[in-house]
Amino acid sequence: MEKECKRIRREILEMIHTAGSGHPGGSLSGVELLYVLYSEFLKYDSNNPKLENRDRVIISKGHASALVYSILSEFGFFPKKELKNFRKLHSLLQGHVYREVPGVELSTGSLGQGLSYSCGVAMAGVLNKKDYKTFCYLGDGELQEGNVWEAAMTAGFRKLNNLCAIVDYNKVQENGLVREIKSLEPLRKKFEDFGWSTVEINGHDISEIKMAFNKFLKETEKPFVIIANTIKGKGVSFMEMNSLWHGKAPNDVELQKALEEIGG
């Protein structure tokens, strides 16, 4: 799977380079998390993306669109050739994930909303006696939004054991370090106090990610959160942990250097 993840990383950077804009840092940090989810855990039919009993994936950090589109095309939701239209006017693949794209459940980009929506989707599953699961992918800077904690409280109170939040804890937000701008710590304890089951992993370690999703599938009582320690810009030395690469496209020389470093 490491080879595939390198390919996704290269594709993300090529898309952002061609578009001349985008969000490399927080896309590169989530590659393994989404790759493992789609390849081994998610129930879906890419030829029938609205299948009633599909598992739902809500991308709350909607700016990670290059990552999401690369993953969705990898798993057959639409052809790879569409990726060259990323961020072009009138193309389907807009800069923040858009629900007309096959496989995207909710248009996002205004941070802080995905977990509330995910609670609604998960509650609908319970009320309608459906056995789908709901996964919500969040950024760490995004957790500074109050709405996230209202949703976290709801999920805990409602015991939404069909809901799995995935926090891409890459420690860097748009303008600097999360711990210096508004620390989330003690993050795991916060979720536990709100009634969640928690696991904390290395979000680039395939076997730890699998362990975490397996644990979620065995959860019977509480909503589940995977706190995934990741590296913003993972795989490219000059992008790693550097907020300058939150929302900037590499130029030709930078792209070449990045692709060489990623290798594969």
Q: Quote the least distance from Cβ 110 to ligand TPP, whole Å.
A: 5
- Residue 93 or 161: the one with the smaller Cβ distance to ligand TPP is 93
112 contacts ligand TPP (rule: CB under 6 A)? yes
- Figure out which of the listed residues 55, 168, 208, 240 binds ligand TPP, where binding follows CB under 6 A: 168
136 contacts ligand TPP (rule: CB under 6 A)? no
Burial 223-262 (b: 16+ CB within 10 A, else e): bbbbbbbbbbbbbbeebbeebebbbbbbeeebbeebbeeb
Q: Are 40 and 32 in contact (CB under 8 A)?
A: no
The alpha-carbon radius of gyration of the chain (Å, integer) is 17
The torsion of the CA quartet 101, 230, 167, 71, rounded to 10 degrees, works out to 20
32 contacts ligand TPP (rule: CB under 6 A)? no
Q: Are 62 and 19 in contact (CB under 8 A)?
A: no
108 contacts ligand TPP (rule: CB under 6 A)? no
| DSSP reduced 3-state for 27 | helix
- Residue 53 or 183: the one with the smaller Cβ distance to ligand TPP is 183
- Figure out which of the listed residues 109, 147, 242, 248 binds ligand TPP, where binding follows CB under 6 A: 109
d(CA 132, CA 150): 23
CA 123 to chain centre: 21
- Residue 161 or 230: the one with the smaller Cβ distance to ligand TPP is 230
- Figure out which of the listed residues 21, 48, 53, 110 binds ligand TPP, where binding follows CB under 6 A: 110
- CB under 6 A: which stretch of 36-44, 99-107, 133-141, 206-214 binds ligand TPP? 133-141
Q: Quote the least distance from Cβ 140 to ligand TPP, whole Å.
A: 4
Q: 134-139 and 56-59: which strand pairing?
A: parallel
> What residue ranges bind ligand TPP (CB under 6 A)?
23, 25-26, 29, 61, 63, 109-112, 139-142, 168, 170, 172-174, 232, 246
